[in-house]
Structure 1
Amino acid sequence: MNEIEVRELAPSEFREWDTLVERNQPGTPFHTSDWLQIYRDVLLRDVRIYGCFRNDELVGGCPVFVKNLKGILKVASSISSMTDYCGPLINESSSSKTGRRVQENHEILNSLREFLCSQGFDSIHLKFSPGFEDIRPFTWNGWDSKVHYTHYLDLKEDVNDNISRTIRRDLKSATGAGLETRKWSNPETYYGLLSKVYERQNLKIPLPRKFFEKVFDLMRKKDIGYMFVSETPEGETVAAHLTLYGKNSTIGWSSARDPAFSLRGTNALLYYNEFLDLQSRNFEYMNVMAGNIPRFAEFIMAFSPRLVPYYSVTLENKRYSSLKALYKIATNAKIGIVPSNFY
């Protein structure tokens, strides 16, 4: 088997990378060079796309955010603020033999793993997209692993057959109050709602206004997604979803509801009508990213989705592990070191 070369991609190779993302099922909008460029431009993040080549053909790779922490630690992660997963991708083997396919896939991942380990990172954290199932080239080589969950709502089935009585009551309440839903493209509206959510919890919003403006620009220019909103009869937007397009599917990226608007059913109506809209456009399923937070998971289960696991792997050297342990002990001391979920 030909040796795999791993190196950082040049900007001139980003189109080839985006083709790989589009061609492979675990590829998502989060992997694309356009999406990663927003983090680079707005947040000034050090974002690198490492590509795996066999005979000069791009056959895999992984985007990585690199951070130097106070000049002490150098960490790498495939995720950043409000990007829950964006891990390695591989060009799946076309061999008809299972053993050969596994061998070729593992060769790509092992080469990527060895390359990352050679870059002098104190910590490496990779979170794979749902659908990427074989992470053994990492776990077999001492990386820690963790399972996460999302929900897939089957849009080939009748939505009305699968909703709970609670959702039916909520829908009746929302429609009785005159709430309506529609698509709308307005970053100010969304940022305003999201700000209220975080202010209510005395938290800082994780991304600046400019980031959302760039995302909305990308939605308009390249049709990567849309915003779906719920409005009162007076035209006030009280809830919104930002949804991205996947492959025969969509990804519920971010949602926000005005915490001062207490009417039951606001989110239920928004999700329900969005599901019906996606069905009318022949999407197969929606990835509702609500599986890791109990109250969100409980709500979305009322629509009878399928629970889907996805995985992350982490490798930390002794220095990083020791400093992380000290951080946990001295949680009230400002020592300038952040935990492994910094990104």
Structure 2
Amino acid sequence: MAVVLMDDKEKWDDFIEKSPYGLLFHKWDFLKIVEKHSNQRLLPYGIYRGENLICVSPLFFKKEKELKMVFSPPPQMGIPYLGIVMSNEYDTLKQNKKEGFLNVVADEIVLEIKNYAPNYIYFSTHPGFLDIRPFRWNGYAVEIYYTYIIDLNGSIENIWNGVTKQTRKDIGKTNERIRLENNKSVDIFYKIMVDRYREQGLNYPIISASYLKDLIDTFKNNISLYFAYCDDEIVGSCMVVHYKDRYITWMGGAKPKNNIHANEHITWELIKLAKSGGYTKFELQGAGMRNLCLFKSKFNPSLEISFGLYKKDTLGKIAEWLYLNFKRKKWF
């Protein structure tokens, strides 16, 4: 097998489009926007078997003084999944060939990463890509992440009946009070989210409003921003990513006000939009956070898992601790 740094946008995007593991986050222009705003070097690796491209792996490299890091995705970009993307051929193979296929891919990627001598390595996987054993065998530690999925293949009536009775009542009360509008007011959205996180003593984990603007301008057909209004006041917002069969509630939220159930209204309206748009999976992120599960589970989702893979030496551990306890946590 051959490992190369790719520079062919068309070939890369065609691979992502055909792979069942390819997401909007993997698209070439998305990665270049991330490179621009993260100030990290994009390493768009492709792995070939003969003439056939069998895997791509977008990595990002950053060096700060003596600290060298490899990410996929980088922090502060809001990207839930990146890591490796296997070809559409992979799922058609018998298990023994799958394992041989993946073992070689993992070994090649691990070897390439070693060339950068990083102190800290982190990458995440697509939900449904379950076999991360080759990375464990290469010394990577593993974290399990959870997300909620609502199957949209059934009728909208069946999906509605799966929602808890109390939530259906709450949504019914909002129909005449709350309206949901699609617009591009990224600055307003970003300020709302910054203020919301600040109330909790946290930094908003997205690097800038200009990053989100670039994404929305580039992917007008795949990223949408919605605001919920009650009496002309914004009571909630949500940025969604819709690509292939998947509709992801990417970021956003609502601050409870006078018990108007803005979050319930937003979620149900987006479910209806996703269903009418022909999407088959509606993703409610945040299933790994206990304080969010009570709300999100009201919509009768199922669980999907993904993995975070990481390796760090002593310097990497110190850098991670400083990031988690200072840069990410508090406003000073």
The two structures share one fold, judged by TM-score above 0.5: yes
Alignment check: 8 A CA contact 1:193 1:238 kept: no
Alignment check: 8 A CA contact 2:151 2:282 kept: yes
Render the CA deviation track for 1:180-215: whole Å, top value 9, x for unaligned.
123333323322322331232343333212112112
Q: 1:249 to 1:320 in 2, by over 3 A?
A: closer
Q: Which residue of 2 aligns with 1:227?
A: 225
Q: Find the residue that maps to 2:316 and give its secondary structure.
A: helix
Q: Which residue of 1 aligns with 2:70?
A: 76
Percent identity over paired residues = 18
Query: Could you tell me which amino acid in structure 1 is paired with residue 196 of structure 2?
Result: V
* Residues in 2 aligned to 1:215 and 1:326: alpha-carbon distance in whole angstroms: 30
Q: 1:317 to 1:39 in 2, by over 3 A?
A: same
* Residues in 2 aligned to 1:179 and 1:77: alpha-carbon distance in whole angstroms: 40
Query: Could you tell me which amino acid in structure 1 is paired with residue 99 of structure 2?
Result: V
Of the candidates 9, 16, 25, which is equivalent to residue 14 of structure 1?
A: 9
Q: Find the residue that maps to 2:272 and give its secondary structure.
A: helix
* Residues in 2 aligned to 1:240 and 1:181: alpha-carbon distance in whole angstroms: 9
Of the candidates 300, 306, 309, which is equivalent to residue 302 of structure 2?
A: 306
Query: Could you tell me which amino acid in structure 1 is paired with residue 217 of structure 2?
Result: D
Q: Which residue of 2 aligns with 1:197?
A: 196
Query: Could you tell me which amino acid in structure 2 is paired with residue 61 of structure 1?
Result: V
* Residues in 1 aligned to 2:103 and 2:163: alpha-carbon distance in whole angstroms: 41
Q: Which residues of structure 1 form unaligned runs of 5+?
A: 333-337
Of the candidates 270, 273, 278, which is equivalent to residue 269 of structure 2?
A: 273
Alignment check: 8 A CA contact 1:226 1:243 kept: yes
* Residues in 2 aligned to 1:138 and 1:260: alpha-carbon distance in whole angstroms: 42
State the Cα RMSD in Å. 2.4
* Residues in 1 aligned to 2:35 and 2:121: alpha-carbon distance in whole angstroms: 19
Query: Could you tell me which amino acid in structure 1 is paired with residue 181 of structure 2?
Result: R
Q: Find the residue that maps to 1:302 and give its secondary structure.
A: helix
Superposition pairs for residues 1-343 of structure 1, below 5 Å?
4-10=1-7, 13-69=8-64, 71-80=65-74, 81=76, 82-91=78-87, 92-93=89-90, 96-157=93-154, 158-175=158-175, 178-205=177-204, 206-220=206-220, 223-234=221-232, 236-257=233-254, 259=255, 261-321=257-317, 323=318
Q: 1:320 to 1:270 in 2, by over 3 A?
A: closer
Query: Could you tell me which amino acid in structure 2 is paired with residue 42 of structure 1?
Result: H
Q: Find the residue that maps to 2:219 and give its secondary structure.
A: helix
Tell me the CA shift for residue 64 of structure 1. 1.5
Bigger mean CA deviation after superposition, 264-273 or 15-24? 15-24
Question: How many residues are paired up?
Answer: 320
Render the CA deviation track for 1:288-342: whole Å, top value 9, x for unaligned.
1121111222211000000111112112235534x469869xx68xxxxx89xxx
Q: Which residue of 2 aligns with 1:335?
A: none
Q: 1:171 to 1:94 in 2, by over 3 A?
A: closer
Q: Find the residue that maps to 1:147 and give its secondary structure.
A: strand
Q: Find the residue that maps to 2:116 and give its secondary structure.
A: coil
Q: Which residues of structure 2 form unaligned runs of 5+?
A: none
- Normalising by structure 2, we get a TM-score of 0.88
* Residues in 2 aligned to 1:116 and 1:325: alpha-carbon distance in whole angstroms: 19
Q: 1:196 to 1:103 in 2, by over 3 A?
A: same
Moved over 4 A (4+): 324-328
Tell me the CA shift for residue 28 of structure 1. 1.0
Q: Find the residue that maps to 2:90 and give its secondary structure.
A: coil
Render the CA deviation track for 1:120-157: whole Å, top value 9, x for unaligned.
11221111111211111111222111111001011123
- Normalising by structure 1, we get a TM-score of 0.85
